[in-house]
Amino acid sequence: MQKLSKYLYYVICFVMFLFMDLTASNYLAVHHHRLGWNNPVFELTYIKNTGAAFNLLNNSTELLIILSAVALTLLCVYIVRHIKGIKMLELFYIAILSAGIAGNMHERIIYGFVRDFFRLNFVNFPVFNISDILINIGVIFLIVIIILKKSK
């Protein structure tokens, strides 16, 4: 029963974060980019990104879709193989990471590019989207969890 509840927890978190990502991204990218909304911290700037972070693999949509599918598959295989030893907090961050990957993959499949729209005004940094935020949160916290496990 504990394994089933962990799987269910992961699926619910994944679906919740993916739904939030896709609906918020659509709203911000489609409706607010025309307003040119900005403040001292960030502005909404609509950009069609055909590559990965920092313009890596530009115009490699098919390759990025394949890499996303492989990453999602590996995360699912990891969960299935190690579900007993995975804590709920770890599942939470794996779900965040998975939702971010799935969100960008969805946009690449549907649009042929990823819609980026957050531009930071206080630093020279590439424009990014909610999926990118989810991926970074997931990776950072999973790294922290791994480091804390290793130090014990």
Query: For the chain, first and last CA: distance in Å?
Result: 28
Separation CA 60–CA 53 (nearest Å): 12
Catalytic residues: 116, 132
